[in-house]
Chain A
Amino acid sequence: MSTIPATPSPATIPPVTGSPAPAGDGRRRRFTDRFTGGTNSRWFPYLLVLPLALILFGYVVQPMFATFAESVGVDAVANYTSFFTNSGVARSSLVTSLIISAASVLLCGIVGVAMAFLLKRFSFPGRRLIEAIILVPAALPPLIGAISFQLLYSETGILPRGLQQIFGTAEPVLPFSGIAGVLVVHTFTMYPFFYLSAAAALAGMDPSVEEAAYNLGAGRVRVWRTVLLPMLTPALVSASLLVFMTSLASYTAPLLFGVDQTMTMQIYINRTNGDLPMASTYASVLGVVSVLFLLGMRWYEGRRSYRSQSKGVAAHRREITNPLGRWLALGASLLATVVLLAPVATIALVAFSADGSWTTEVVPAAYTMQNFVTIFSDPNAFQPILNSLQMSLLATIGCIVIGVLIAYAVRRLDFRGRGVLDVAVMLAWALPGTVVAINLISAFSTGNAFSFGQVLIGTFWIMPLAYFVRFLPLVFRSSAATLAQIDPALEEAARNLGASWWRAFGSVTLRLMLPGVIAGGLLAFVHGVGEFVASVLIYTSQTAPISVEINNRMYSFEVGTAAAYGMLQVVLIFVVMVVSGRLETGRRASREAAQWTA
């Protein structure tokens, strides 16, 4: 297993061409032209694209088919018929998943759009602070995010117990459990999809269009109904689709709040019970639904969007001048700040609590540095950190090399099947992590051509491969977004001045893409270090990453140590956010990519 796709072998890259062959024997020159000066030829794009297409096929598409084959392998379509006719677990899991997703869309829509309007259209004390931290809950890795909400709002959580103590009741007050708990996690972590798209739509909206409506005599309500909302519709529809897809793929929230009958949980349960065909059936159904959503989203985004370019007057924020309103706004801002920062603060607090010291108290009773000492000094405890860093790094390198080339091919080259390539990358993004894991299990539990005949399941390499598949779209999106801002004429100018295609690509295009590429790469790395959903299905005891270790520690009631691991992930994320923020042009690209984070 010396060659692994995460780092593409040199053979997959076309030979670097030199300058055109010197004039000589005409026939010979034509022959060498065909191979060296050929970056201008019609087949050149295919030479670049073929290896990329093979990689996407081998590690994204073909594993999907393998999963389907697995699901019908033993008793044909029996699994599926049980799925659709039986009123048992399968059916109710699908229904529960759909209900949770629909409710998540509704809740996230209300919170996200309200936040966008308040922050973008009004000016009040505390607005800047809220804007700065509004994305914090969503930036947490999925497992740590869900755990922090469990520690805060579940029956044993800080808030219900705190209220219980304040009011002196017998039971915790307002505990969230089951589906309600899942919805709390979803609302807090997914409302940014609505917030970001509504805020962007509001910012991109030409204020004179609104003024034109006022000028024609429309009142405030009518302007909202006939102009603002219709113009926001595209943003809201795509945000709805995103939240629906993400909720459907959500695995950690149902896991922690014990909602077993969802699609993702059933995949996990069947896999751990050894029923791979049934797990594959669930994965196939979930995969098909996700792909349908992806295609629906692409179709919808292909339609017009209402962004007009206007210089004109910048959108005005209305100042809240009423003193009572200002105090209310200040109070609400403070409350929002506490709520937004509470998850991170909870993880930080618990990370310093002694394991086993927190039983029925509102907050842990005893504090210690021991958790951090343990995870860094105990070789067994340090191994997961090492694993995560190593596997993420490998995956990130692969994502950067392949992601940049695919972005270039899709955005700049003209070849048949460009749309297919684009869809194939985004497929990797649309598939839930659980489904990606099942796909890889189905494809690589025996050797095949894409694993060079090796069995990958149970080895180290399946992990970086899963990360590569999951996070390739992040680098792709971020690179493609930066590329879109680079005038193709720059590369043409370099060619005009005598640079070969490779030279022009390397010295101009790639150089200018760099901030976006780095931002995307950092994002992929952070997500790799926080990865849980796919890892938990394919890890072995030697390759357990940080998140799996956190989960295991939670099960053995070592909450403090689990939170200490979580703090490492959180700190890494904030460092990366700051670094990406510094990459001026990378900023927009990474934000755009972040919107696509599942």
Chain B
Amino acid sequence: MIDVTLESVSKRFGRAGDTAAVDDVDITIAAGEFFTLLGPSGCGKTTTLRMVAGFYFPSSGRIRFGDQDVTRRPPNKRDTGMVFQNYALFPHMSVAQNVAYGLKIRKVGRAESKRRVEEALAQVHLAGYGERRIDQLSGGQQQRVALARALVIRPRTLLLDEPLSNLDAKLREETRVEIRRIQREAGTTSLYVTHDQAEAMAMSDRIAVMESGRVRQIGAPQEIYHRPATSFVARFIGRSNVLSLPVLGAGPETVTVRLPDDSQVSVAAPTDHGLGTGATALVSIRPEHIGLTSATEPGVVTGRVTELEFTGMSTNLLVDVAGEAVQVAAVDPPAGLSVGDQLGLRLPRERMWVVRP
């Protein structure tokens, strides 16, 4: 077990080096931690992972495994285990030969190697599949061979590049539980890359949300969900309303804003919010935290239902509040609610949170 540190890592491509795929990223992954890079495609998460693996060298910055500087060490000297998006299994070798490949390079004895391969295959529930050819396996099985191949060498760091994206929905959920179980058992420091926020939330100890090559927020899933740092994070993780509201007053950890019904409410804010009276605050609130009411009281804004969709678990509404579209997920909406109805929306103070742009 070892911790992994990225210090001001940047990667610039292009002739003049003017396109920064990764821009000044600082991350410390604790030993044994399951750490996820989350973001939309093109945000630089895979580039970051490939720098940790050694397939790219950073344009600037350092990468450390424990106290060793590995910034410019070739990939075959890093002792990482990588699971590729398309698995990258060697098509000309059997399942067992694939898994044994890294052991052979590490000059592990024949008997020991055989034992460890069997063990690794059993761990991914593929005992007895050793002699199969790769093209005789299903996608899910190939995925597990790739995982076994990466883990059998007992790597210092496990790197996973969207390993579930080629699986169907049901298999994806099963496999993510499996990956997490195996990772816990092995206790390997893991860096996971995905664009699927549900996957990231379910699996990770901590998540770094990336956008346009930069890390926007690092935190535990709950923290990122409930206290998103920016409007991008708020919208990317789950669904969120980000309301632009005028600031009436500001404290060190609160900001007082005016709601569309002219009532005032004091909203929690990060200490470095930097907002003053007269500015416009971005306030995020999740659709499922908005209540429906017919009462008129402070903190209740009214609007007109413009869209309505029943999903079973809840009813998703789009409500027009003074020209702004507000998403609401109502678990128990009033019977007979339909498009065009006027509604009162209760915005609970404790569920609102000021985010940066």
Binding site for B on A (CB under 8 A): 206, 208-209, 211-219, 222, 226-227, 230-231, 233, 304, 306, 308-313
Instruction: Please determine whether B76 and A212 come into contact, CB atoms closer than 8 angstroms.
Output: no
- What is the CA–CA distance of A230 and B91 in the complex, to the nearest angstrom? 10
In the complex, the number of residue pairs spanning A and B with C-beta atoms less than 8 Å apart equals 83
- What is the CA–CA distance of A226 and B92 in the complex, to the nearest angstrom? 10
Instruction: Please determine whether A211 and B84 come into contact, CB atoms closer than 8 angstroms.
Output: yes
Instruction: Please determine whether A222 and B105 come into contact, CB atoms closer than 8 angstroms.
Output: yes
Instruction: Please determine whether A211 and B92 come into contact, CB atoms closer than 8 angstroms.
Output: no
Instruction: Please determine whether B89 and A209 come into contact, CB atoms closer than 8 angstroms.
Output: yes
Q: Is B101 interfacial (CB-CB < 8 Å)?
A: yes
Binding site for A on B (CB under 8 A): 50, 53-55, 74-82, 84-86, 88-92, 101-102, 105-106, 133, 135, 149-150, 153, 159
- What is the CA–CA distance of A213 and B102 in the complex, to the nearest angstrom? 8
Which residues of chain B are near A226, meaning CB under 8 Å? 101
Contact of A215 among B76, B89, B91, B92 (CB under 8 A): B76
Which residues of chain A are near B78, meaning CB under 8 Å? 215
Which residue of chain B has its CB nearest to the CB of A305?
B91
Given A211-B75, A212-B82, A304-B135, decide whether A217 and B88 contact each other with a Cβ distance below 8 A: no
| Interchain residue pairs with CB less than 8 A apart (13) | A206-B86, A209-B88, A209-B90, A211-B75, A212-B84, A215-B150, A216-B149, A216-B153, A218-B101, A231-B91, A309-B86, A311-B85, A313-B55
Contact of B74 among A206, A214, A222, A312 (CB under 8 A): A214
Instruction: Please determine whether A212 and B90 come into contact, CB atoms closer than 8 angstroms.
Output: yes
- What is the CA–CA distance of A299 and B183 in the complex, to the nearest angstrom? 44
Q: Looking at A208, A211, A212, which has the most chain B CB atoms within 10 Å of its CB?
A: A212
Instruction: Please determine whether A217 and B77 come into contact, CB atoms closer than 8 angstroms.
Output: yes
CB distance from B251 to the nearest CB of A (A): 49
CB distance from A223 to the nearest CB of B (A): 8
Q: Looking at B80, B102, B135, B159, which has the most chain A CB atoms within 10 Å of its CB?
A: B102
Instruction: Please determine whether B91 and A304 come into contact, CB atoms closer than 8 angstroms.
Output: yes
CB distance from A218 to the nearest CB of B (A): 5
Which residues of chain A are near B91, meaning CB under 8 Å? 209, 231, 304, 306, 308
Contact of A208 among B88, B101, B153 (CB under 8 A): B88
Given A219-B76, A230-B92, A231-B92, decide whether A213 and B101 contact each other with a Cβ distance below 8 A: yes
Contact of B53 among A213, A215, A231 (CB under 8 A): A215
Instruction: Please determine whether B86 and A227 come into contact, CB atoms closer than 8 angstroms.
Output: no
Instruction: Please determine whether A211 and B55 come into contact, CB atoms closer than 8 angstroms.
Output: yes
- What is the CA–CA distance of A218 and B74 in the complex, to the nearest angstrom? 10
Which residues of chain A are near B90, meaning CB under 8 Å? 209, 212-213, 227, 231
Instruction: Please determine whether B82 and A217 come into contact, CB atoms closer than 8 angstroms.
Output: no
Contact of B86 among A214, A215, A219, A312 (CB under 8 A): A312
5 closest cross-chain pairs (CB), A and B = A216-B102, A208-B88, A212-B88, A214-B75, A306-B91
Given A211-B84, A212-B88, A230-B92, decide whether A217 and B79 contact each other with a Cβ distance below 8 A: yes
Which residues of chain A are near B149, meaning CB under 8 Å? 212, 216
Contact of B76 among A217, A227, A233, A306 (CB under 8 A): A217
Which residues of chain B are near A310, meaning CB under 8 Å? 86, 88
CB distance from B64 to the nearest CB of A (A): 19
CB distance from B97 to the nearest CB of A (A): 10
Given A227-B90, A231-B92, A304-B91, decide whether A217 and B84 contact each other with a Cβ distance below 8 A: no
CB distance from B134 to the nearest CB of A (A): 9
Given A211-B75, A230-B92, A231-B92, decide whether A216 and B101 contact each other with a Cβ distance below 8 A: yes
Which residues of chain A are near B74, meaning CB under 8 Å? 214
- For the complex with contacts A212-B84, A218-B105, A304-B135, 7 further pairs of A-B residues with Cβ separation under 8 Å are A206-B88, A209-B88, A209-B91, A211-B75, A230-B92, A308-B91, A309-B86
Which residues of chain A are near B76, meaning CB under 8 Å? 213-219
- What is the CA–CA distance of A215 and B150 in the complex, to the nearest angstrom? 9
